[in-house]
Homo-oligomer: A and B are copies of this chain.
Amino acid sequence: MSEFEQATVVASRGDGTYDAAIVEGWDIAGNANGGYLIALAARAMTDAVERPPLSITAHYLSPGKVGPVTIDVDVVRAGRRMAVVRSTVASPEHGPVMALLGTFADQPAPEDAGPSVIAAAPPELPPIEQCVPAGPPVGMNDSGFGQRVVCSYHPDDTGFRSGNPTGTAVMRGWFEFADGTDVDAFGLLVALDAFAPVCFNREEFPPSWAPTLELTAHVRESPAPGPLRCVFRSRFIQNGMFEEDGEIWDSRGVLVAQSRQLALIPKPA
């Protein structure tokens, strides 16, 4: 079992409730990574309907702290192909952590997929060894998450780490699990929330906590093995919030996931 699989084990009680744990080492400054929490919930939701996530939305209720959690899963509708499922992740000690709603389904067989029309290209990235692996975010404590995943940033997008934001709310880079295991549909959910908030590359927003309110992920294809190319950008920072749009492309140059999140701008520390 990979580190990620071990950290996202869920056990069904048979009544819609799953026992799981927020595992040490998937945190940033003490709070579990949001994508990791979504993946944890998605494991239970997938178990309940025997299909992987296609579109999943998470609303963040409180920071995820290390320790046991329950995941209550409610199957709203399980059709022949699509299943719609709700869940809530809660900590007995800290209360509700995340509320989710998703459609779960297998990708269609190639002969049923229909025509493709792609009006975009993967982000241009230098080879991974010329990119800048992420350490802990500037000004934050050491991060367990940074030991589990490797986000290798495009050198042009790392200005925020040294107090020289690039001026453009974009982050590009490669994503891999640190233990070298391949990324599946659940791993994509982690990758979609693994990079630094894009607003850190604007001088108006010094690096500090930028709480996500909601993140929606679409899994568009099962990823091929190998590091993933990622790009995140925001076009509208206004009214104290910003949207962050993510794309993940696999080693074949196929788009495998998209995300959009709505987050609060970081407050100066």
Contacts and interface: CB of A to CB of B under 8 A. Distances in A.
17 contacts: A57-B101, A61-B77, A61-B84, A76-B96, A77-B96, A77-B99, A100-B101, A101-B101, A103-B214, A113-B240, A114-B265, A115-B205, A115-B237, A118-B236, A119-B168, A120-B236, A238-B254
A235 B118 contact: yes
A55 B262 contact: yes
Interface of A: 54-55, 57, 59, 61, 76-77, 82, 84, 86, 88, 96, 99-103, 107-108, 112-120, 168-169, 199, 202, 204-205, 213-214, 216, 218, 220-221, 234-241, 243, 254-255, 258, 260, 262, 265
Contact of A108 (B214, B240, B255): B240
A192 B236 CA distance: 17
Contact of A260 (B76, B202, B216): B216
Given A101-B86, A236-B255, A255-B238, A117 B169 contact: yes
Contact of A57 (B108, B168, B216, B236): B216
A255 B169 CA distance: 17
A214 B115 contact: no
B99 A76 contact: yes
Number of copies: 2
A188 B172 CA distance: 32
A115 B267 CA distance: 11
A77 B254 CA distance: 38
A213 B100 contact: no
B88 A59 contact: no
A241 B84 CA distance: 17
B239 A258 contact: no
A241 B107 CA distance: 10
A112 to B, nearest CB: 6
A237 B118 contact: yes
A82 B213 contact: yes
Contact of A238 (B59, B116, B243): B116
A57 B101 CA distance: 8
